[in-house]
Chains A and B, each alone.
Chain A
Amino acid sequence: MFNIAIFVGSLCYGVVYFVLLRKRGKLSDAVIMLLLCGFIAGYNAPYIGKRWPTVEKLYNGLYTPLSRYIFSHLLSFNK
């Protein structure tokens, strides 16, 4: 319920401000707002929300090999 409220709320916020900013002649701001709110809604969207990217997932993928090498091989640190 809470997730759906955030999903719908962020989409509505994006669309409302897209229209308002476009009326004020700030097209690039309007497009960024729509994209940002769409991205936010994606986190709570049904089915795809769990697979939406987070910094934790990205950095786990990027840094785990390096971290494993430094902590396990160089420092022999296992905690």
Chain B
Amino acid sequence: MIVKEKITHLQLGFLLFGFIAGFESMFLTESKLMKQDVWIANLFNTAAGLALFWIISFVQRQFPNLNLTEICDKLLGRWFSKVLLCVYLLNNLETISGGFRAVSMFYTTVILPNTSSDYLIFLYAACSTYAVYIGLGTLARTNLVILPFFLLGFLVTCLFIIPEIQTNPFLPQLKSSLPNRLVGSMHLFTFTFSQVITFGFLMSRVENMKKIFPSCAIAILMTNIYLIMISYLTLSSLGFNYVQTSTYPFFSTIQMVKFGEYLERIEVLLVGLWTVLTLVYVAVMQYVFTLVAGHVFGISKMKPFVVAMGLLCFVHTSKSYIRTADHFTYGIKIYPLSSLLPCIAFPVLLLVMTLIKRRREVKSL
């Protein structure tokens, strides 16, 4: 793992877009829960994502020469910081395992039914471990190469879905129940921008720190436009009932695309690109896991540990979320709660401590 390689603020923004856009379009659980009111979840998600990102970038700007793990040590004290970072590591491992399991579940359900999910997870874990080994700079550049293909493929697919649209699926408004709105919004936020804390650990590696927030704010807005678009297209082309019963509604939507008489199964191209972006998601998570674990356990040379931690991610995934129904229930009922402390309370605590420290410094002057 190359430790000191810097990336640009634009690369970080694109990485954030690829990180969310690749993974989140899979299940569209919030569309299943909220139906025509899914835009409420997206609006909430934009506001909450921007607020959380501002908090983390504000804290980082106060300590430009330190990374987030060192900032935690400075603000919270060594041992309390270690405890909180361990809670973050557990959340990170939980997210990595969920990501690997979701991709393998998709492949074994839709494309490769006779392949063992353990082999698929091993393959993904090997790829993401290699990505961690070659470093953040290469990962960010690879993401820049993939994104134009993904966006082009996605836009072309969207154009071909437009003829399938029958009615405006966002009408009549405000018909979903309040619990569904709350759970849907919480679910979308947990699976997308609650993970911006992960990007906080990468901010010290960005060349121009002042431009991180504007470029990542644009990425957050673009991601939400993408999510609203796929929700709109899926609900309008498939209808509410089909979306509720389908495990992968957006995949069913893109299956409807045909070019001419004979050229079909275009969705396979998009699925390939989507798989690579999901790998970007897991690789970023695993990269930060390795970085934070190295700091928490005081490891001086990380290179031999990259493979060991990749192996840990693999074996942990192979023993987690084995039953599909349990995985879904966990995603809706446990994961949003377990993410509250490491992904929301932790950055807010850092903000409060930074403000207290600033006020003390001003008083002492």
Residues of chain A at the chain B interface (Cβ within 8 Å): 2, 6, 9-10, 13-14, 17, 20-21, 26, 28-29, 32-33, 36-37, 39-40, 43-44, 49-50, 52, 54-56, 58-60, 62-64, 66-67, 70-71, 75-77, 79
Contact between chains at B119 and A77 (CB < 8 Å): no
Q: How far apart sit A43 and B317, CA to CA, in the bound complex (Å)? A: 10
User: Does B348 reach chain A (CB closer than 8 Å)?
Assistant: no
Dominant secondary structure of chain B at its interface with chain A: helix
Q: How far apart sit A43 and B311, CA to CA, in the bound complex (Å)? A: 11
Q: How far apart sit A60 and B338, CA to CA, in the bound complex (Å)? A: 9
Contact between chains at A36 and B305 (CB < 8 Å): yes
Partner of A28, one of B94, B298, B319: B298
User: Does B156 reach chain A (CB closer than 8 Å)?
Assistant: no
Q: What residues of chain B lie closer than 8 Å to A52, measured between beta carbons?
A: 319
Q: How far apart sit A39 and B300, CA to CA, in the bound complex (Å)? A: 20
Q: How far apart sit A64 and B83, CA to CA, in the bound complex (Å)? A: 22
User: Does B4 reach chain A (CB closer than 8 Å)?
Assistant: no
Q: What residues of chain A lie closer than 8 Å to B309, measured between beta carbons?
A: 36
Q: What residues of chain B lie closer than 8 Å to A33, measured between beta carbons?
A: 304-305, 308
- Measured CB to CB, the closest approach of chain A to B25, in angstroms, equals 21
Contact between chains at B311 and A10 (CB < 8 Å): yes
Partner of A54, one of B122, B182, B320: B320
Contact between chains at B308 and A55 (CB < 8 Å): no
Q: What residues of chain A lie closer than 8 Å to B183, measured between beta carbons?
A: 71, 75, 77
Q: What residues of chain B lie closer than 8 Å to A67, measured between beta carbons?
A: 333-334, 337
Q: What residues of chain A lie closer than 8 Å to B308, measured between beta carbons?
A: 10, 13-14, 17, 33, 36-37, 40
Q: How far apart sit A70 and B180, CA to CA, in the bound complex (Å)? A: 13
Contact between chains at B337 and A66 (CB < 8 Å): yes
Residues of chain B at the chain A interface (Cβ within 8 Å): 33, 90-91, 93-94, 97, 116, 118-119, 122, 179-180, 182-183, 297-301, 304-305, 307-309, 311-312, 314-316, 318-321, 330, 332-334, 337-338
Contact between chains at A40 and B315 (CB < 8 Å): yes
Contact between chains at A55 and B180 (CB < 8 Å): no
Q: How far apart sit A3 and B312, CA to CA, in the bound complex (Å)? A: 13
Given contacts A28-B298, A40-B312, contact A79 B304 (CB under 8 A): no
- Measured CB to CB, the closest approach of chain B to A61, in angstroms, equals 10
Contact between chains at A76 and B299 (CB < 8 Å): no
Ranked 8 nearest A-B pairs via Cβ: A75-B179, A43-B315, A55-B94, A77-B179, A56-B320, A59-B338, A67-B333, A54-B320
Q: What residues of chain A lie closer than 8 Å to B93, measured between beta carbons?
A: 55
Q: What residues of chain A lie closer than 8 Å to B318, measured between beta carbons?
A: 43
Known: A6-B315, A13-B307, A55-B97. 15 other contacts (CB 8 A): A9-B311, A13-B308, A36-B312, A39-B312, A40-B315, A43-B319, A54-B320, A55-B93, A55-B94, A55-B316, A59-B90, A59-B94, A63-B334, A64-B334, A66-B337
Contact between chains at B338 and A63 (CB < 8 Å): yes
**Nearest B residue (CB) for A44:** B315
Contact between chains at B315 and A77 (CB < 8 Å): no
- Measured CB to CB, the closest approach of chain B to A15, in angstroms, equals 12
Q: How far apart sit A50 and B322, CA to CA, in the bound complex (Å)? A: 12
